[in-house]
Amino acid sequence: MSTIPRNQWYVAAYGSEISNELFARRICDEPILFWRTAEGTVVAHADRCVHRRFPLSQAPSRLVDDKVICGYHGFTYGSDGRCVAVPGQTKVPRTARLAPYPVVEVDSLVWVWIGDPALADESRIPRASYLDAPGWTTVRGLEPLAARFSLLVDNLLDLSHETYLHGGYIGTPEVASTPITTEVDDDAGAVYVSRHMDDAECPPFYRESTGLQGRIARWQDIEYTPPCLYKLHSRIAPVGSVPNPDGSDPDAFHVEVVYAITPETEHSTHDFWMVARDFALDDDGVSAFLAENNRTVVLQDVEALDVLERVIATEPAGYQELSINIDTGGLAARRMLARMVGETPRNAPAAPVR
Amino acid sequence: MSTIPRNQWYVAAYGSEISNELFARRICDEPILFWRTAEGTVVAHADRCVHRRFPLSQAPSRLVDDKVICGYHGFTYGSDGRCVAVPGQTKVPRTARLAPYPVVEVDSLVWVWIGDPALADESRIPRASYLDAPGWTTVRGLEPLAARFSLLVDNLLDLSHETYLHGGYIGTPEVASTPITTEVDDDAGAVYVSRHMDDAECPPFYRESTGLQGRIARWQDIEYTPPCLYKLHSRIAPVGSVPNPDGSDPDAFHVEVVYAITPETEHSTHDFWMVARDFALDDDGVSAFLAENNRTVVLQDVEALDVLERVIATEPAGYQELSINIDTGGLAARRMLARMVGETPRNAPAAPVR
Amino acid sequence: MSTIPRNQWYVAAYGSEISNELFARRICDEPILFWRTAEGTVVAHADRCVHRRFPLSQAPSRLVDDKVICGYHGFTYGSDGRCVAVPGQTKVPRTARLAPYPVVEVDSLVWVWIGDPALADESRIPRASYLDAPGWTTVRGLEPLAARFSLLVDNLLDLSHETYLHGGYIGTPEVASTPITTEVDDDAGAVYVSRHMDDAECPPFYRESTGLQGRIARWQDIEYTPPCLYKLHSRIAPVGSVPNPDGSDPDAFHVEVVYAITPETEHSTHDFWMVARDFALDDDGVSAFLAENNRTVVLQDVEALDVLERVIATEPAGYQELSINIDTGGLAARRMLARMVGETPRNAPAAPVR
């Protein structure tokens, strides 16, 4: 049985990835064709010609004047997915239509709805407006992960691993040794995990980017809205500095580390990562440093999680993990994800029925 | 359940591939050993030593004086498959014999019978005598196809794809736009698909080889005798030229494009292709051009069908195609193949019982 | 169902492979972590952190002061497998312990017990003291075999294959043509196969190493104690020479060819090979020759058995082999191995319960 929640919004791409060209990506085990119309709207359809299932993203298929022409026999589709031409006859079968996917482009992200299109509700898309707002600068990337998405959820909900897996980059001894507080908001569909280190070593990632010397106050406030969006509100400040009662926080540096955790298949994941900051906005050196450093950290995770996926593939059934306090947030996230999967009726088809 | 018809003749090799050396090829998921005796006869047996299943085609197995010596323990077999020597004892077990396969070499092709040898009937082998006849020159090749054989049958029965997949080689707009006629002869076990274009663009494949300038009459007459042999009788002539009432056709150029579609496994195929012509018989430049050009076209098909095989591997059960008029011949071929598979008794063994 | 006997000792490594560093090897489909304590004792535990199953052999996991620190979240284990530290809390869960494996280092080999540790009985370890004794010099190696271990057992129990697969190295015509005698000792758990060639060609392997010219007496006395240890007592002497009544044998050269046949998975094997001799003890040229020559022979077997494993993977169910006299020892070994597997209760878990 699938462990991927359906009837959910997922980040399919960065807006900048999609232009007036055919673009394919597998999301939640469904092959999807994306392209941006001449007018600028992103559309998404099943990436299979209705005739003989040739992928429309596959050359010599091509996009001409906002119409997709299949490279095998020339079936031609408009931006609404309807077939407008077939070979050898003038009548086009009424049912010849590519299944459309609801798409929303917001906060520099292209979200796609996986499941029953009738249930797609844009208001449920979690926001991260700083990714695309004045006063912020963002670097970003996308790494392929050969592991199930839940392993990345586990990883990100328990940052004590920074001390060991990312030592010398973002990890210091205080991350593993400082207890966390965890909150679960089932109504909002969110898990919060906080770790406030009031007097901690400053790791290179923040020392180089902020210029802070000496020890720091380092706050990690995680906000995860399953299944897809993970936000780490990171506050870095001189020791002793706290935000003002009105919320202003002039002595601190704020970094929003965002992950979009999108299943590609049951056993692989699109690992979208973004780092937004409210300082040194035009400093290309800081941008380059944060991009390169965070990518290194992400690749350390990718290597470890790829190993875990292979481990799981060969382990005996009924294998038991042992969990401790640091896992509270991760376990809460697992329960939410399990409920989401359970919401799918038992006999649901493996593919969308539209 | 297998989709490969048994109790059928299949092309296993070109005659030129088989000499007085051990030669292995998997046909319909059966590993077969071929070799040509000193007298010139092609023989075929199971490519597994009866002792410990070592492939007799695998070094250091070798052929010495028309006897096959297993490279593992030295079991030795004659051209009839009977074991004539074993190690450590002089008595050879009576049952030590390689299962033999009926083989016929005709029209430059080596045909092998897959199924019950008692049912092998040479008269059922479809012929293509021009492959080996005076007045014709043939070029040929063999490409490995990582796709089930039925995808190649689909492909070849519907040539409208030439316009899209093979544009610039053999495709022109008229192929896709000209309607076809389809005939099914269940008694003869053949499907016929014809497309007569009386005023069409001449594609490079025929322009370069025939020297014809301007538009042409282009006839495509397909004759497919499932499961293995596909013949495309191609007639190229100046616009307005028709054959004489006596069948002579002096102004036309005739090209016989032949495919032998032989399953290697359930998911891979030997794609034998041949192009015979009745003009420019001794022109090596025309031979080289047709060989190179047709190979390019075949590789375009191979690339597309390999993609389709991978698509099928990940698609949900019950996926539905949409068929239109151009598919009439392909659907008829599918029905014939399905009947052939159905003729195999339900409890038939996966391997031949002899 | 597994074909690997459990509740048995297996050679996991050469003693020289294991130092005060983390060392991983999969044995009988179980991932095991080995290391040697500062005091020199080899220890073995499950190679999975109890927390989130990260392999403890995987960087950045590391060994510090005889403690293993997991590279993911820092769980730390002592040499008895007990967890002594976890992140974010001072209390360590009582059940946090790596499953330990009984280990014995003897005769230069590291033996590990696979199965119920309570049943581990050191006295059942078969010995090969010449591997580590004065008066003997040993060369050795380890080759990965992509084939089930029983194929290597078959191979080694029937040396008639030397004539064909290893011609020019250790095979001569007499090996295949000389009958064998086979003895099975069910109480001792051993199979004996002997072939005494009293007047045989001397193969390069022995000609170069002993310096003997002309024909030889060549005795092959196999002693196999399933599942893991195979010993070939090889006696090479001038024709006519026999041991004295007191067992002394001054004119002969003795070579002990030892294999440890350790399943890695159901379909792959650790092929440990050793060649011990009682002559030319300090001659590095002889050592280098025997090591290089025996490795070549082992790789010839590896190539053949890898082929057989692939053959078995695609052959129809119920495939039948044909056995003859030379197979008597191999068939006896198969029966012993089958009984050992049968001793495992039917509902035994796929992994050890400890």
Q: What is the pLDDT of residues A303-354, one digit of tens each?
A: 999 999 999 999 988 899 999 999 999 999 999 999 999 864 433 333 333 3
Contact A74 B304 (CB under 8 A): no
- Cβ contacts (< 8 Å) between B158 and chain A: which residues? 73
Interchain proximity B326–A73, CB inside 8 Å: yes
- What are the φ/ψ torsions at residue A345 (nearest 5 degrees)? -55, 145
B149 and B53 within one domain: no
- Residue A243 · residue A21 · CB < 8 Å: no
Q: Which CATH number does the domain housing residue A13 bear? A: 2.102.10.10
For residue C92, the distance in angstroms to the closest alpha carbon of chain A comes to: 9
Residue B150 lies in a domain: yes
Kindly report, residue by residue over B256-314, the tens digit of the pLDDT: 999 999 999 999 999 999 999 999 999 999 999 999 999 999 999 999 999 999 999 99
Are residues C15 and C92 located together in one domain of the fold? Answer: yes
Q: Look at residue A343 in the predicted model and tell me its pLDDT.
A: 61
Boundary of a domain, candidates B79, B96, B123:
B123
Handedness of CA C147, C149, C153, C156 (dihedral sign): positive
Q: Which residues on chain C are in Cβ contact (under 8 Å) with A315?
A: 48, 53, 351
Q: Taking a C-beta distance cutoff of 8 angstroms, is the pair A44, A101 a contact?
A: yes
Of C123, C145, C176, the one marking the end of a domain is C123
Note whether B181 contacts A: Cβ–Cβ < 8 A: no
CB C2 within 8 A of CB C339: no
Mutate to test the interface with C, among B73, B75, B90 (most CBs of C within 10 A): B73
Residue C350 has pLDDT above 70, yes or no: no
The pLDDT of residue B344 is 46
Asked, for residue C350, whether it belongs to a domain, the answer is: no
pLDDT(B36) > 90: yes
Same domain, A35 and A167: no
Mean pLDDT value across residues B127-140: 97
**Pairwise CB contact (< 8 Å): C54 & A304:** yes
Which pair of tokens denotes residue A354?
């539209």
- Number of Cβ atoms within 10 Å of the Cβ of A53: 20
Same domain, A109 and A258: no
Same-domain pairing of C62 and C148: no
Please indicate, yes or no, whether residues B67 and B134 belong to a single structural domain of this protein. no
CB contact under 8 A, B308 and A53: yes
Instruction: Please check whether residues B107 and B38 belong to one and the same domain.
Output: yes
- Residue-wise pLDDT for C206-252, tens only, equals 999 999 989 999 999 999 999 999 999 999 999 999 999 999 999 99
Q: Is the CB of A326 less than 8 angstroms away from the CB of C93? A: no
Confidence at A263, pLDDT banded by 50, 70, 90 = very high
Other C-beta atoms lying within 10 Å of the C-beta of residue B270: 23
The answer to whether residue B208 is domain-embedded is yes
Rounded to the nearest angstrom, the gap between the alpha carbon of residue C317 and the centroid of all alpha carbons in its chain is 29
Give me the domain span that covers residue B300. Answer: 129-343
Question: B157 contacts in A (CB within 8 Å)?
Answer: none
Which of A150, A155, A161, A164 to probe by mutation at the C interface, max C CB count within 10 Å? A164
Residue A4 identity (one-letter amino acid):
I
C75 and C207 housed in the same domain? no
Closest residue in A to B160 (Cα) is: A73
Of C53, C55, C350, nearest to A321 by CB-CB distance is C53
Q: E strands, C186-228, where? A: 190-200, 216-225
Q: Is position C255 within any domain?
A: yes
Distance, CA of A38 to CA of A32 (rounded, Å): 19
Contact B88 C176 (CB under 8 A): yes
Contacts of A219 (CB under 8 A, 6+ apart): A194, A195, A196, A197, A233, A234, A235
Q: Given this model, what pLDDT does residue C345 score?
A: 42
| A window 12-31, beta carbon within 8 A of B | 29, 31
Distance of residue A26 Cα from the nearest chain C Cα, in angstroms: 28
Q: Give C138→chain B minimum CA distance, Å.
A: 28
pLDDT score at B83: 98
The arithmetic mean of pLDDT across residues C118-145, rounded, is 97
Please report whether residue C102 resides in a domain.
Answer: yes
Q: What pLDDT score does C353 carry?
A: 33
Q: Are C192 and C208 in a shared domain?
A: yes
Helices (H), C194-318: 204-210, 284-314
Number of domains in chain A: 2
Which residues neighbour B102 within 8 Å (Cβ) at sequence distance 6 or greater? B44, B112, B113, B117, B120
The phi and psi torsions of A255 (rounded to 5 degrees) equal: -125, 125
Q: Are residues C69 and C182 in the same domain?
A: no
Question: Cβ contacts (< 8 Å) between C54 and chain A: which residues?
Answer: 304, 307-308, 311
Is the CB of B324 less than 8 angstroms away from the CB of A89? yes
Sheet containing strand A23-27, strands side by side = A23-27, A30-36, A42-46
Residue C124 backbone phi and psi in degrees, to 5: -85, -5
Q: From chain B, pick out residues whose CB is under 8 angstroms from the CB of C177.
A: 87-88
Query: If you search the block for the tokens 């998404």, which residue do you land on?
Result: A44
CATH classification of the domain holding B277: 3.90.380.10
Q: Does B154 touch chain A (CB under 8 A)?
A: yes
In this prediction, residue C1 has a pLDDT band, given cuts at 50, 70 and 90, of confident
User: What SS3 state is found at C5?
Assistant: coil
Average pLDDT of every residue of chain A: 95
Is C353 contained in some domain?
A: no
User: Nearest CB to A308: which of C53, C74, C93?
Assistant: C53
Confidence check: pLDDT of B111 > 90: yes
Query: Exposed, middle or buried by CB within 10 Å (0-12, 13-18, 19+), for B344?
Result: middle
Query: Stretch C21-44: mean pLDDT, rounded?
Result: 98
How many angstroms separate the CA of residue C345 from the nearest CA in chain A? 17
Q: Could you tell me if residue C52 is inside a domain? A: yes
A322, C54: Cβ pair inside 8 Å? no
Which pair of tokens denotes residue C150?
């029983």
User: What is the distance between the terminal CA atoms of chain B, rounded to a whole angstrom?
Assistant: 21
* Chain C residues closer than 8 Å to B71 by CB: 164-165, 304
Q: How many residues appear in chain C?
A: 354
C neighbour chains, 3+ CB pairs within 8 Å: A, B
Please answer yes or no on whether B311 and A51 come within 8 Å at the CB atom. Answer: no
The model's confidence at residue A11, banded by pLDDT at 50, 70 and 90, is very high
Chain B: give the shortest CA distance to residue C67, in Å.
45
Q: Do C53 and A164 touch (CB under 8 A)?
A: no
Mean pLDDT, residues C126-134: 97
Whether B161 has its CB under 8 Å from any CB of chain A: the answer is yes
Q: Please report residues of A whose CB lies closer than 8 A to that of B299.
A: none
Spatial contact of C326 and B73, defined as CB atoms under 8 Å apart: yes
Chain C residues whose beta carbon lies within 8 Å of the beta carbon of residue B89: 179, 324-326
10 Å Cβ neighbour count for A116? 15
Contacts of B69 in chain C (CB under 8 A): 164
Q: Letter for the amino acid at A327?
A: D
Q: Which of C156, C157, C160, C165 is the best mutation test for B, with the most CBs of B within 10 A?
A: C165
CB pairs under 8 A between B and C: 81
Closest residue of chain B to A265, computed from CA coordinates: B314
Prediction pTM value: 0.93
User: A113 with A195, same domain?
Assistant: no
The residue among C102, C123, C144 that closes a domain is C123
Whether residue A258 is found in the same domain as residue A175: yes
Count of other CB atoms within 10 angstroms of residue C151: 22
Q: Is residue B353 part of a domain?
A: no
